[in-house]
Amino acid sequence: MPSEAKQKMIQSRRRPLILVTNDDGITAPGIRALTKAMDALGDVVVVAPADEQSAVGHSITLDRPIRVKDYNFGGELSHVHALAITGTPCDCMKLALHELMHRKPDLAVSGINMGSNIAINVIYSGTISAATESSVNGIDSIAFSLDSKDPNADFIPAGNYAKIIAQKVLRSQLPTGVVLSANIPAIPEHEINGIQVTRQARSRWQEGFVGRTDPSNKQYYWYRGVLNILDDSPDTDNQSVEDGYVSVTPLQYDRTSYGCLDVLRTWRWADAKDQSFLK
């Protein structure tokens, strides 16, 4: 990392220090909108992937080195300290927190993702994984996603709601082990009905693959799928966004199914040793 950039990282201690990342890459419109929103709340450091990293989930880079480059958003954000790295959203958080920043941030935010991250999609989302990673590191963290895949989508209302939610978290502190995922409807700001606290909707991907043949006559597949929501309860992330609310879902990273521990303990595991099941 250039020492000049390292110098820049010495932050003032009076304003909140906010770390920003995403999974669409540092040049995406959503991270610009989020950076602008956070710039109004505190001192901002951006450490984001150089390239798009959608659907990378919680992957980390172990098999190749990670490089860091200065980045400048230009215009009204040219004062913001930004670094582009050759890695995943989780790499960004790890590298920022343990190598690039000179003190622990007060808040970490990820997004604003182009496309919602609701229901089962939570487990695939690089945006949410980045926020999870900083939460694991003891930092209050929020993932933001806009419910639109339109490259010309207006991120300004989402940025304004990101500011409101971030401000609330800076004031109130999140419970331990919990990260927030906010999904914002892609509608004009005056049509947004407010903020709702939700749970993940039950859903299932209707998977599909498109098989094609290359010029050498070898077959290959493209993944595609359609998300089916199996749950129309008004307290779900999906329904909330459909109803014109900003959905805020608390997510935990402890995946232990506590409710299931006792059930499994009643299973007589040793019995399985008898081979009668085998024909």
Residues 79-138 interacting with a copy of itself (rule: CB under 8 A): 90-91, 94-95, 97-99, 120, 122-124, 129, 132, 136-138
230 binds a copy of itself (CB under 8 A): no
Interacting span for a copy of itself (CB under 8 A) from 72-80, 105-113, 151-159, 167-175: 167-175
Interacting span for a copy of itself (CB under 8 A) from 71-79, 101-109, 149-157, 252-260: 252-260
When the beta carbons of 10 and 164 are compared against a copy of itself, the nearer one is 164
When the beta carbons of 82 and 251 are compared against a copy of itself, the nearer one is 251
27 binds a copy of itself (CB under 8 A): no
- Min CB(269)–a copy of itself separation in Å: 4
When the beta carbons of 121 and 148 are compared against a copy of itself, the nearer one is 121
Residues 76, 39, 85, 55, CA torsion sign: negative
When the beta carbons of 74 and 266 are compared against a copy of itself, the nearer one is 266
Beta bridge partners of 229: 203
Residues 112, 116, 117, 121, CA torsion sign: negative
Using CB under 8 A, count the residues that bind a copy of itself: 90
Backbone angles phi, psi at 202, to 5 degrees: -70, 140
Beta bridge partners of 178: 252
State which of positions 32-61 bind a copy of itself (CB under 8 A). 40-41, 52, 54-61
- Buried b / exposed e over 156-166, threshold 16 CB at 10 Å, is ebbbbbbbebb
- Min CB(226)–a copy of itself separation in Å: 12
- Min CB(168)–a copy of itself separation in Å: 4
Parallel, antiparallel, or unpaired: how do β-strands 43-49 and 141-146 relate?
unpaired
| Cα angle for residues 21, 23, 27 (degrees, 5° grid) | 75
251 binds a copy of itself (CB under 8 A): yes
Task: Return d(Cα 214, Cα 82) in angstroms, integer.
Answer: 41
Task: Return d(Cα 191, Cα 240) in angstroms, integer.
Answer: 13
When the beta carbons of 74 and 269 are compared against a copy of itself, the nearer one is 269
- Min CB(126)–a copy of itself separation in Å: 8
Residues 182, 185, 188, 194, CA torsion sign: negative
Interacting span for a copy of itself (CB under 8 A) from 108-116, 141-149, 174-182, 183-191: 174-182
231 binds a copy of itself (CB under 8 A): no
Which whole-number Å values give the CA distances from 9 to 27, 81, 89, 234, in the listed order? 21, 7, 19, 44
171 binds a copy of itself (CB under 8 A): yes
Backbone angles phi, psi at 135, to 5 degrees: -65, -45
188 binds a copy of itself (CB under 8 A): no
Residue in 14, 24, 60, 18 with CA at minimum distance from that of residue 41: 18
Interacting span for a copy of itself (CB under 8 A) from 28-36, 74-82, 109-117, 168-176: 168-176
